[in-house]
Amino acid sequence: MNRIVPVQKNDYIDVVFEDLTHDGAGVAKVDGYPLFVPNGLPGEKAKVKVIKANKGYGFGRLMELYENSPYRVEIESSDTHKYGGCQLEHISYDGQLKFKENQVRQVLARIGKLEDVLVHPILGMENPWHYRNKAQVPVGEKDGKLIAGFFKQRSHEIVDTDESLIQIPEVNEAVQTVKEICNELGIPAYQEESHKGVLRHIMARYGKKTGELMVVVITRTADIPQKNKLVEEIVARLPKVKSIVHNVNSKRTNVILGEKTNVLWGNEVIYDYIGDVKFAISALSFYQINPDQTKVLYEKALEYADLNGEETVIDAYCGIGTISLFLAQKARKVFGVEIVPEAIEDAKRNAELNGITNAEFAVGEAEAVIPKWYKEGNAADVLVVDPPRKGCDEALLQTIIEMKPKKVVYVSCNPATLARDLRILEDGGYKTVEVQPVDMFPQTTHCEAVAKIVLKEEAEA
């Protein structure tokens, strides 16, 4: 029997918001029918306009608020709220932390069937602004001048933006300065429709602990008009710059970086620290966006690993070695595996940079490399996973279950896939002891968490 949809497109209705979705939209229900409305907060009474009504759920637009949530705050930057991914900027920071902590609890219960797992209060930031150490900003033209900023939602229209309140000020300044210089020199923006023009993106990276700045100019063409003058002006106007890099992306693609990169001035890398570990960061390196909170996250992972110096540890998604090198300070031996060859080269360089000799890195799929290590006698006492948002590969989870390391530390950037994977490990003989949420990206809906997982037989011993 088909359910009757209680609302139609263009209806105006009064609602009370009950919850938030994982991407920060308010959830209201009309006779049990869920309506998702951006900018609505739980407990608020409002008038909404129905803009789409599917069979099972609909979407609305907030038209008028009758009653505000105590967590609602004045939006500080409408540009970043609309276009820059700051989906929770209209919620007080206390409210954001509550939302994220609840999200972790809810998905663990709903997806993982883990109602009784200890979830600690979320670890937030003292200052939840100006934390992002990297920007990749698209460039366009309007009224004969260069613009750089964010894409309007669901479009490729660029909104010119002077600053983002979640970027480190030095990053904002670098992007704006390079835009101004390119404008003065008449360097034309890339035109997506015609695949002509030059300047596609401006990237800036900043080492918060070292104060070192990298500028990356991304173009369609192999040459940059007035290249020498561009470099001269960047060096003159940005005293903290240590590296100016040119990346060529000649393809019709939404991918930002191309395959050809060369240094125009200064060093190939800049440096930064997470805790006491030093990292070399190139234009192409993956490096954590918020190093302050990354330190909080990794220290919790280290605590859950509970190393005494005798363990063999495997880091199954090691990237450039960030967690591996943290663990190597306390473990007997760390093995890191990663599918991206360039990341492994960075990991080896970072180990050398820190004088760490007990970390070994290999390129490949974790589910193929780890059994090989196991056969060679390198069984893991502790296994650490820090997968992408899609979570762990199922073959890796089965490998963990078969190998039976005593302890697994799961560092997650997506609570939903964390809950799914924990369920698989639980069914395979493991017990989730505790979970610590960490707010790595204030003003956004993203939430990280670290889970401590042990073999059931170890837990019961």
What crossing angle do the helices spanning 394-403 and 366-375 adopt, rounded to 10°?
Answer: 20
**Alpha helix positions (H), 198-317:** 227-237, 291-305
Dist. CA 201–CA 158, nearest whole Å: 12
> Max alpha carbon distance in the chain (Å)?
72
Residue 432, phi then psi, degrees to nearest 5: -85, 115
What value does the mean pLDDT take over residues 229-239? 98
Give pLDDT, residue 23. 80
Residues 6+ apart with CB under 8 A from 5: 33, 53, 54, 55, 58
Q: Which of 271, 278, 328, 340 is nearest to 302 (CA)?
A: 328
pLDDT of residue 163: 84
For residues 177 and 234, is the Cβ–Cβ distance under 8 A?
A: yes
Question: For residues 129 and 139, what is the distance between their CA atoms, to the nearest angstrom?
Answer: 24
What residues are annotated to the active site? 413
Q: What is the pLDDT of residue 76?
A: 63
Q: What percent of the chain has pLDDT over 90?
A: 85
- What mean pLDDT comes out for the span 4-15? 93
Q: Which residues contact 323 (CB under 8 A, 6 or more apart)?
A: 298, 301, 315, 384, 386, 411
Report how far residue 26's alpha carbon sits from residue 135's, in angstroms, rounded to the nearest whole number. 29
Identify residue 21 by its one-letter amino acid code.
T
Instruction: With cut-offs at 50, 70 and 90, classify the pLDDT of residue 374.
Output: confident
User: pLDDT tens-digit profile of 53-74?
Assistant: 999 999 999 999 999 999 999 8
Phi, psi dihedrals of residue 435, rounded to the nearest 5°: -135, 135
How crowded is residue 253: how many other Cβ atoms within 10 Å of its Cβ? 9
The dihedral over CA atoms of 291, 297, 298, 302, expressed in degrees to the nearest 10, equals 160
pLDDT for residue 120 is more than 80? yes
- Domains along the chain with CATH numbers: 12-67 (2.40.50.140), 102-126+290-460 (3.40.50.150), 134-274 (2.40.50.1070)
Say whether 237 sits in a helix, a strand or coil.
Answer: helix
Looking at the predicted structure, is the pLDDT value of residue 79 above 70? Answer: no
For residue 82, is pLDDT > 60? Answer: no
pLDDT grade for 140, boundaries at 50, 70 and 90: very high
- Give the pLDDT confidence score for residue 1 in this predicted structure: 42
Q: Is the pLDDT of residue 161 over 90?
A: no
pLDDT digits (tens, 9 = 90+) for 125-136: 999 999 999 999
Separation of alpha carbons 325 and 323, rounded Å: 5
**167-218 pLDDT per residue, tens:** 999 999 999 999 999 999 999 999 988 999 999 999 999 999 999 999 999 9
- pLDDT of res. 131: 96
* pLDDT (0 to 100) of residue 457: 80
Select the more confidently predicted residue: 458 or 402. Answer: 402
Per-residue model confidence as pLDDT tens digits over 352-370: 999 999 999 999 999 899 9
